[in-house]
Amino acid sequence: MAEALIKLDHIFKTYDLPGNNNSTVLSDINLEIQEGEFVAILGPSGSGKSTLLRIIAGLVEPSQGKVYYKNESGEGFRTGMSMVFQSFALFPWLTVLENVKLGLKNNHSLDEKQKEEKAIEIIDMIGLDGFERAYPKELSGGMKQRVGLGRALVMEPDLLLMDEPFSALDVLTAENLKRDLLELWMEKRIPTKSIIMVTHGIEEAVYMANRAVVLSRDPARVVANIPINLPHWRDKQDRMFTALVDKIYSILTTKEVGAATYKEDKTKKLAQLPNARSGALTGFIELLEDIGQKTDLYKLGDQLNLDLEDLLPIVEAASMLQLVMIKEGDIELTPIGKAFAEATVLERKEIFREQALQRVGSLNTVFSALNSKSNGKMPEEFFLNILTRHFGEEEAQNQLNTIIDWGRYAELFAYDEHVGQLFLEKEED
Amino acid sequence: MRREFIQTQQTRKFGWVDILVIVLSFGLLYFILSLGSGMKAPVVPEQISEISLDPLLLPYYAGRSLIRMFLAYGLSLVFTFVYGHIAAYNKSASIVMVPLLDILQSIPVLGFLSVTVTGLIGLFPGSMLGPELASIFAIFTGQAWNMTFSFYYSVTAIPSELREVSAMTNMSVFSKFTKLELPYSMIGLVWNSMMSFGGGWFFLAASEAITVLGKDIKLPGIGSYMATAIDKGDINAIYLSIVTMIITIVVVDQLFWRPLVAWSQKFKMEQSEGDEQKSWFLDLLRKSVVISQVQTVVRTIALKIKSSIKGINRNKLNLKENTLIKFWVRLLKWGAAFGVIYVIINHVFDGLLLVLQLSQSDLLKAIGYGGYTFLRVLAGTLIGTLWTVPVGVSIGLNPKLARFAQPLIQIAASFPANMVFPFITLFYLNYHISIEIGAVPLMILGTQWYILFNVIAGALAIPNDLKEASTVLGLNCYERWKKLILPAIFPYLVTGWITASGGAWNASIVSEIVSWQNHDLIATGLGAYIASATYEGNWPKIIWGITVMALIVVFTNRLIWRKLYKLANEKFNIA
């Protein structure tokens, strides 16, 4: 058995929030990655996947726990690794060749000429022959990511880290690049021993990796560790393939919803609202009504051309409001959901209002706070402060935006953006 | 800061229009001059009020100065809208108007301060109104050009869809202005206004106390208070005026500009979060009940005005359809154009004759002096760069520090540097430092902040992933600067250089001659040349000096800065 290339030992990451609070992003992550493995880290958006990757790289220090790389733990960036970024992170003022050569900066065994030769060799390998003197802005997205990949590979890393490397590319370009990378990896044309890829594309993970590590959200824990033993090249239409995708889908959705309700019942903490707009939500319910039966979530996402990142919040919101029911990766309208779908615009608002006030703690809090004021007005900062204490600055704004969107849709309250004020609409005539 | 600049620095080729415009500006310059020189012995106001150094009068003086600043700003706004509107909508006019604005921007306005003072005193003999207007005019010339540029480029950049909508809904010229052009240009205009206003303090301090034809004229204001304190060598009064100045700048910033900037954010076209501008004063205003009542009153009045204006516009529309009137309007337009051209050509000719009175050595002397001042500007810009780059980058790489430092730097940039000149002059006198070198720090003192400002903005804009990538690639400190930081801030640095060096040229007129009580320090340079010419009232020298300086500024802009700017945008642009 190969030795563990990297080992995460009880990793925690917390960020300090105002008012003696802190938010835990990563909670007790234990993970071992062996030589020869291609691991995909999956999780809903905002789950801290990218933070985890940066902790592995040594770009971010964990709050607790240790990272062992080849049995050694050290601080700072670890040599022997390289990273591919979602946004490519190319230096715009350097040519393709210079960008790739930057990866050889610390390779002191090569002289200038050898470095150049090696960089050109890599550029040929990643299919950018002829573009050596081009600047990144002359290249398409796919070609830019090839440069990013080339710059990482020229370092001949033992461990290649990839942070959502394909998510900024269009579908066809991404497909093409995935194949090329997989080919390099499988034919061992690169000396890389292991690859860790952070992604939110389940299909992508099942297509490429040997193992999928599934994280939950808020805070992130490892909820599943799924080996993918299908032989390459994998057929996306294959029954085994879709079954695996389906399985991960259901893990992600059930954990997701489970986590949210768990929190509402057991602790007095505010439940985090999924960032779904009311418009998207009603559209989704209408669609389910059209389908008219229990549906596979994965197929639904595929059909709608939505990836996990976009679909999950909507599903979660619908489930939170008890408009849908989710069981083992299948989704179905509840009686309330059916009533909602068949209702008129005004009736819908009524159903939504009722469900929201009952089920959504934060919306209820805002509504009662406004009601308690004689003029029915409150500045948004007030709510933002409360939310910041629970969710941190960045997420608090998202939460407030969702609360305002839902509140406006339900006609619970109105919002004046310029003044930054939430207020109850006076009932006129 | 930078975004605005891109708008105002569109790369045009230097062509015959520019030469024409340079000649035209020369004529314009002489035209203004001849207005002044026509009155050989202007009746200097009798009741020149003595400036008292009583500290209790400082708030009053600050108030007088503030009124001057705001009147000048109002004038700049009116000029901006009128000039920008014509340049944006009248294709044939814009051919001349846009380059003219560019040249006007390069003319050292302090140079003909005494000229305008003389001219305006002639217009209002025996009254303080003349110097008062001259001071306002000086501040105006320091404010108007870049505001106009900003407005012009915003209006020309209005998407055609929005124009089509306004055409379909049959908007009147007035409602097109209030509903489309003004909102569209608001953010850039407010930002440039704030910058211009900050720069205006410098001109205020320089223009309140001025010597014309051997006569001292002091307008009641904080600048004259300072000047009087210098004359009398009263250090305490100097300190007091500096403190008052800072307080005034901070108060105006907090109560006027911050709220305006925060308010103007609602005109943002793209809905992006982040870099939100906040103003406590605006929040206060928005929440107060009195204000909301005032708003309703204002709104109803505005509605009434609007409806009456609509009526007028309708009448106008009818008028325009009349072909006979159209013909007359046309004739009038052409007549006016020819009139202006005739007057200007006439003055170009007269001006040339006047300049030719100078001996050849005098003519060459100005050019040679221009070389000295040019070297000082370069040296000053270099010094400004050497310290602002490390400081600016370390501030910019630390966003928390940047948020704290930026408003402070903005105040430093607004503070009229000429108010601290006396201390430096005293220092030079005591330690026998030559003004030939000593003028350099004086020139850059007020303008280096623009470099710092831009460097910070540049460092703030370095994307996080590039920083991470440099760590992943194992770049050491030296390589990090060479491959990441310097290239990334370069476009911002160039913007800072252009602003700072332009300001340094203007400052040379007050920096190359400084005095403390009755000690005068005079450097060899074009700034000193112009300053002494205005002191003597030597018209040929004034015209020639200003022309040479404007030409040097225009050519360095075209030949150095604009090339660098183009390079910066082509090669070092991150976006």
Binning pLDDT at 50, 70 and 90, where does residue A292 land? confident
Instruction: Let me know: does A422 contact A415? Beta carbons within 8 Å.
Output: yes
Give the residue on A whose Cα is nearest the Cα of B487.
A93
Chain-chain contact of A102 with B473 (C-beta, under 8 angstroms): yes
**Stretch B139-148: mean pLDDT, rounded?**
87
Facing residue for A57 by CB, picked from B472, B479, B487 = B472
Chain A touched by B286 (CB under 8 Å) = yes
* pLDDT recorded at residue B382: 95
For the segment B519-530, what is each residue's pLDDT rounded down to a tens digit? 888 899 999 998
| Weakest-pLDDT range from A157-166, B316-325, B444-453 | B316-325
**CATH number at A6-252:** 3.40.50.300
Average pLDDT of chain A to the nearest whole number: 86
The interface predicted TM-score (ipTM) is: 0.74
Helix (H) or strand (E) run with residue A9 in it: strand A4-17
**Stretch B115-130: mean pLDDT, rounded?**
75
**B contact test, residue of A90, A91, A107, A419 with most B CBs within 10 A:** A91
CB contacts, 8 Å: A417 with chain B: 266
Residue B7 predicted with pLDDT over 70: no
Chain A touched by B60 (CB under 8 Å) = no
CB contacts, 8 Å: B287 with chain A: 379, 419
| Weakest-pLDDT range from A72-76, A107-111, B84-88, B242-246 | A72-76
For the segment B13-55, what is each residue's pLDDT rounded down to a tens digit? 566 677 777 777 777 777 766 665 554 445 555 555 677 888 8
For the segment B204-213, what is each residue's pLDDT rounded down to a tens digit? 888 888 776 6
Residue B79 predicted with pLDDT over 90: yes
Rounded to a whole number, what is the distance in Å from the CA of A378 to chain B's nearest CA?
A: 11
Binning pLDDT at 50, 70 and 90, where does residue B100 land? confident
For the segment B462-514, what is each residue's pLDDT rounded down to a tens digit? 888 899 999 888 888 899 999 999 999 998 898 889 888 888 988 898 899 88
Strand B513-516, strand A38-42: pairing: unpaired
Determine the Cα angle at B256 with ends B251 and B262, to 5°. Answer: 120
Count, in order, helices (H) and strands (E) of chain A.
15, 15
B513, β-bridge pairs? B522
* pLDDT recorded at residue A40: 95
Helix (H) or strand (E) run with residue A215 in it: strand A211-215
Binning pLDDT at 50, 70 and 90, where does residue A193 land? very high
* pLDDT recorded at residue B119: 73
For the segment B129-138, what is each residue's pLDDT rounded down to a tens digit? 888 888 898 8
Chain A touched by B484 (CB under 8 Å) = yes
Q: Which two tokens stand for residue B504?
A: 């340094």
CA distance B255 to B148: 24
- Of chain B, the percentage scoring pLDDT greater than 90 comes to 17
* pLDDT recorded at residue B535: 77
**Stretch B172-198: mean pLDDT, rounded?**
84
Rounded to a whole number, what is the distance in Å from the CA of B196 to chain A's nearest CA?
A: 27
B516, β-bridge pairs? B519
Binning pLDDT at 50, 70 and 90, where does residue A80 land? confident
- Of chain A, the percentage scoring pLDDT greater than 70 comes to 94
Chain A touched by B266 (CB under 8 Å) = yes
Ordered strands of the A194-199 beta sheet: A81-84, A159-163, A194-199, A38-42, A211-215, A222-227
Chains A–B, number of C-beta pairs less than 8 Å apart = 61
CA distance A197 to A178: 12
CA distance A339 to B495: 61
CB contacts, 8 Å: A419 with chain B: 286-287
Domain residue extents for chain A: 6-252, 278-423
Chain-chain contact of B472 with A82 (C-beta, under 8 angstroms): yes
* pLDDT recorded at residue B259: 86
Q: Where is pLDDT greater, at B41 or A97? A: A97
Residues in chain A: 429
Instruction: Let me know: does A58 contact A11? Beta carbons within 8 Å.
Output: no
Rounded to a whole number, what is the distance in Å from the CA of B187 to chain A's nearest CA?
A: 15
Determine the Cα angle at B273 with ends B267 and B276, to 5°. Answer: 65
pTM recorded for the entire structure = 0.76
Which residue type occupies B556? Answer: T
Report CA dihedral (B315, B320, B325, B331) to the nearest 10 degrees: 130
**Stretch A68-84: mean pLDDT, rounded?**
83
Facing residue for B487 by CB, picked from A59, A93, A155 = A93
Chain-chain contact of B466 with A105 (C-beta, under 8 angstroms): no
3-state secondary structure of B378: helix
Chain-chain contact of A93 with B286 (C-beta, under 8 angstroms): no
Give the residue on A whose Cα is nearest the Cα of B571.
A93
CB contacts, 8 Å: A83 with chain B: 468-469, 472
Residue B143 predicted with pLDDT over 50: yes
Average pLDDT of chain B to the nearest whole number: 81
Q: Which residues of B28-50 are buried (b: 16+ CB within 10 A; e: fewer)?
A: bbbbbbbbbbeeeebebbeeeee
Residue A262 predicted with pLDDT over 60: no
Q: Where is pLDDT greater, at B575 or A93? A: A93
- Of chain A, the percentage scoring pLDDT greater than 90 comes to 31
Chain A touched by B574 (CB under 8 Å) = yes
